[in-house]
Structure 1
């Protein structure tokens, strides 16, 4: 089975959903929430109602991993739409359901402006907003916050941001993978945790959430890492879906340096978020000078020094 790329998959997937809906006599059509942004979700256009949404990146990853036929994938999608039912749009599109998300500003600015999506520039990132409504028995309904919503609420984008970013970690689905060094020098393990202070200790993490890397925008989330680390928090937002969260002292660890370099270099261009590196300390979010280039230069220098040291030790042993 010849796999296709993400964009080709998306077109074929949506077309097959439309075909099956036609076969069953439905005139409704599939649509993409956040078209062109990294957190693309597939759903149905139901007007005043909203139904469950499907994460297109997760569906595509499953397709690549298991090489499933398109018909099987689409059938499961329609079953999900049917299983979780619908919710009135006004029930979903309320301030209590808003999440702050991030995207790379340069590659997303035309989409944000063209579709009337409010945003704030933060370095080379853009903050925008999504509605995320989860049913108690499962199912997630989403849509995008537009300028019309801000006019209705009489808020600016900055005022809305200051309101929603006060949410607790649990309410925004903030989770993390604890990086665990393995016995192999070029490998490491994962231990998933919920971003709660009692679950975190002095180690690097990979942070994500319902809003992707947008979890780094919430002071409550970063404060919990600062309390657990007992030192300055370093943030490397390499992907729109994930960000590395590190105690400042752990940047000295060779295996951590290798993972940072690997992540920043291997992230798909479509999911690329930022070339900046940030820190969080005493309730303040700072951008560090030099960004990822300077961080990588430091890492390269340390790796070279270590390798030269290892070669020297080997040479001394061989000369004995």
Structure 2
């Protein structure tokens, strides 16, 4: 394994992986081409296109990064060979089977970091606070993952826009987005207070954008919980008596500043702390929500 600059490791591992993946496809001599789903976002995954219309499984770049760098259990070339074997042997499915409204999942990403790639690739999205709400067609089947971008072209064919799609697809329950709510202890963090939890789905923090999911959280922890986008893949949830929204936001923004100068910059999602508005059935910025409550009083 070559030495990676720890402050740019994600980008360097990604670059080496793509280069090796393309090289191994070329050596096979079948005219297969690399395809990138959610390019330039933390939910990026890789697949390849053969000569026919069928789609093979996708592999997450984050998984490659963890296996080849964080845990250093695979060399890049070995990882690519193994991935291609898995993709070759897995069932290939038709685009028509995947590209159904029922398979659309919401994936929030950082707006300023990802906007250019989203525009370049014609990806359907709309701004939500300092995030961009994007979408993928997603089927998870026996540890196999099939992914494809939801594009503006697809939306146009359906006669809807990105915001309208949001309302159509976000009323799934936790199991439908392959999600979990865990206590802080279960995710390896120590806490003396049980009123803290970690929430995530196949779409990471995006699980918090699903009303049925947040209703479960509110039922367990109360309606005043604070939702922290500590990283792209997880929403940390806690009651305000542990720490105020202002203090949490200050800490989050400092954590984000650290991530931006290290190899974890792709994990920065938002600089805002959120609350769940039971009336709107949506997340709202906790600081603005607090100010508005005082005005109403």
Q: What's the TM-score once normalised by structure 2's chain length?
A: 0.82
> Which runs of 5 or more structure 1 residues have no equivalent in the other structure?
182-186, 191-200, 292-320
Residues 257 and 100 (structure 1 numbering): CA distance in 2 closer, same or farther, change over 3 Å?
Answer: closer
Q: How does 1:1-320 map to 2 (within 5 A)?
A: 1-4=1-4, 5-46=9-50, 48-64=53-69, 65-135=71-141, 137-180=142-185, 188-189=189-190, 203-251=195-243, 264=256, 267=259, 268-284=264-280, 285-289=283-287
Q: What's the TM-score once normalised by structure 1's chain length?
A: 0.77
Q: Answer yes or no: is the 8 Å Cα contact 2:105–2:136 preserved in 1.
A: yes
Question: Per chain length, whose mean CA-contact separation is higher, i.e. which structure has more relative contact order (CA < 8 Å, sep 6+)?
Answer: 2
> Which runs of 5 or more structure 2 residues have no equivalent in the other structure?
290-297
Matched residues in 1 for 2:76 and 2:23: separation? 12
* Pairwise CA distance, 1:72: 1.4
Residues 126 and 154 (structure 1 numbering): CA distance in 2 closer, same or farther, change over 3 Å?
Answer: same
For the aligned residue pairs, the C-alpha RMSD in angstroms reads: 2.8
Q: Answer yes or no: is the 8 Å Cα contact 1:84–1:138 preserved in 2.
A: no
**How many residues in Structure 1 have an aligned counterpart in Structure 2?**
273
For residues 104-162 of structure 1, give each alpha carbon's deviation from its aligned partner in whole angstroms, at most 9, with x where no partner exists: 11111122222211212111111011100123x44111011011111111112111100
SS of 2:276's equivalent in the other structure is strand
Matched residues in 1 for 2:226 and 2:275: separation? 4
SS of 2:65's equivalent in the other structure is helix
Matched residues in 1 for 2:194 and 2:218: separation? 9
Matched residues in 1 for 2:82 and 2:254: separation? 34
